[in-house]
Structure 1
Amino acid sequence: MPTAAAVTRGRHRNGPQGLRQPVCRPVTISKTHTFRHTRATDLINVGVPIHVVMRYLGHISPAMTMHYAKTLAVTAEREFLRYKKVTADGRTAEVNPSDLYDLLHLDQRADRVLPNGWCMLPPRQVCSKGNASLTCDKFVTDASHRAELQHQLAQTEGLISRRQAQFTARHGEPMGEDNIWLAGRLAESRALAKVLVALNQVSVHEDGQLRPVRGAVAADRPEPPSTTAQKEPTA
């Protein structure tokens, strides 16, 4: 009689019980990655939003998901057009979404896809702003990136607080808002707050209808408070 260990080894060698390939051969453990790939493709092709599939697969960027699943061009375009686009200053993007999709060649390339939105710079032009997309007029985003934008705002505000504490401990007073590093981070924080407020007001296209998109960010969220401390009056 075979031992329990031998049975376990046999199961691992022959693959999950009851799962067979079209030619009736058992599916081996090394082939189960195919199930993940097929599941991702099925989810995207039936219209599940890319950011939901990203969380399902544990991916950290849209590019990983788009590379992983063989997405139909019509599905990718439908997902892109589903949400209204918002610029870095919180305004609804004036460019037609269909024209933007064609302009960025999103059916052929992913170099204009950002973790928190898209860069509208035409493919033949080169970006010189580095990681300053939140203060760039070529940046657009939509409600599918809300979670990433909220995380980025929290990270930015936390970084400002930590750097201010370090600066104060070293120099005896906080950075002024004219400090070049702080000015850049505050601009990013204000831009993120504006974008998140704007995303609360836009609509999503669904089954030919428009419906509001609501998030966790309050529409009347105030501007980030000044980080310059009030100095005590001297005697």
Structure 2
Amino acid sequence: MPLLPVSPRLPLPLKLLVSAFLLVMVPVYYRNYGPTNFLYFCDVALLLSFISLWTERALPASMAAVGILLPQVLWCVDFVGELAGVRLVGLTSYMFDENRSLFLRGLSFFHGWLPFLLLFLLKRLGYDRRALWAWTALGWSLCLVAYFFLPAAGTVLADAKIPVNINYVFGFDDAKAQTMLPAPLYLLAWMAVLFVVIYLPTHLVLRKVFATKVVAVPVGAVQLV
């Protein structure tokens, strides 16, 4: 009996659209912001979403959702606040920097549509419960790399667009490091806050809302994955 091809769970036009966006965004970001910019949580999450799109596996999208769904909502709220003339957190101040081209700033609107893409992926692929610890390990590793190897808050670079204080490991003000706590203690506290306030609650909600999809296979049938 001939085997029938398994229909993809994700539409090809969506895969091609996201791929086209990355083909534009990655070289533009690399040229303007440098390679370290891709160590931001949001950029890593975007790349994980791309992997999940083409492999149709739930874990990469689940990891990205755990890590950035809540922060991306905050990004959107902060952007609307800046538009209204109200400075909330300052996450999106760069979107109003006239020294950056409109095209460059426009690419950053992926922060607005990425949460919806992730929710769509989870709806189609299900939520992989391993995502909590997988993303936590990745997120904490990114924090350690940013703290020990990348420019700290307040560092003056020749190109002002090159990021400093990546993932806020030195505080929320890129112009100067926080002074409330010793820097190593702040880093540990920040990593703990990320887990308790963002990762764990998001995981608990996603685990309840999106059950992992299980494909029933008749006895004796051969399944192509």
TM bin, normalised by shorter chain, reads: under 0.3
Q: Which has the higher strand share?
A: 1
Q: Which has the larger radius of gyration?
A: 1
Q: Which has the higher contact order (CA 8 A, sep 6+)?
A: 2
Bigger share in helix: 2
| TM-score when normalising by structure 2 | 0.26
